[in-house]
Structures are given as structure tokens and as C-alpha cells.
Amino acid sequence: MSCQSPSILQRWAQRSRHWPPPDVVQKVVSSESFLTPVGFKGSEYEHLEWRICFNIGETELVHNLNGTQAKVYVILKMVVKEVLKPNNKEITSYVLKNIIF
């Protein structure tokens, strides 16, 4: 389900940063967002909770990673999957993606 979330995106856009460049930030802010029925794992209300997803904006960010950034992102995803996840279920690739972006 498509949704509008300008306040979330504007707060993200206003943060101090070196990456991504302003034109990419503007593309992300103007991209569509979606509601998905995914609750916070372990929450008492997980079956009722929804998540705002920024799939189009995230794709734009991934396509604007430079070579080093892309390699670090892949390595971090491997660390989460192979090292952290077996011991800590709360640290997911979703959490990692939000930290990176």
C-alpha cells in the first residue's frame, strides 16, 4: 500500500552528510513509500504493527554506492548473516541497511 511520509524523509534529508550527494537525497525524498504488515519481532502487538518501507529510495541509494561502499556493505551483510545472526536475532540485514543508509 502506497503512503506519504514527508516528515520522516525530510528529517533524513536534513541530516549532515558527505554521502549521498544532494541530487540523490532529493530523488530519495521524492520517491514513493509503502506500508507493509510487518511488526516488530517479539512485540506483543507484532500481528497489528506495520512498517513504512522506502524500497524505491533504498534502491536509489544502493545504485549510488561507490565501489568501496558497496564492498563494505556486502561484507557487513555477510558478518550479520554468518557471525551475528546465529547469536543475536535482533541484528538483521534490515537493521544493518537502516544503519548504512
Listing DSSP states for 56-93 in one string gives HHHHHHHHT--HHHHHHHHHHHHHIIIIITTT-TT--H
- Are 13 and 54 found together in one domain? yes
The tens digit of pLDDT for each residue in 35-60 reads 999 998 889 999 999 999 999 999 99
Overall pTM > 0.95: no
pLDDT band at residue 92 using 50, 70 and 90 as cut-offs: confident
- The cell 558478518 sits on which residue? 79
Alpha-carbon distance of 38 to 23, in angstroms, equals 31
Length of the chain measured in residues: 101
Nearest Cα to Cα of residue 61 among 92, 97, 33, 17: 97
Q: What pLDDT sits at residue 47?
A: 92
- Are 73 and 88 found together in one domain? yes
- Are 42 and 76 found together in one domain? no
- Are 76 and 36 found together in one domain? no
- Are 73 and 50 found together in one domain? no
State which residues form the domain around 71: 65-101
- The cell 558527505 sits on which residue? 18
- In the predicted structure, residue 80 carries a pLDDT above the cut 80: yes
- Are 12 and 54 found together in one domain? yes
- Are 21 and 51 found together in one domain? yes
- In the predicted structure, residue 5 carries a pLDDT above the cut 90: no
Nearest Cα to Cα of residue 24 among 70, 54, 60: 60
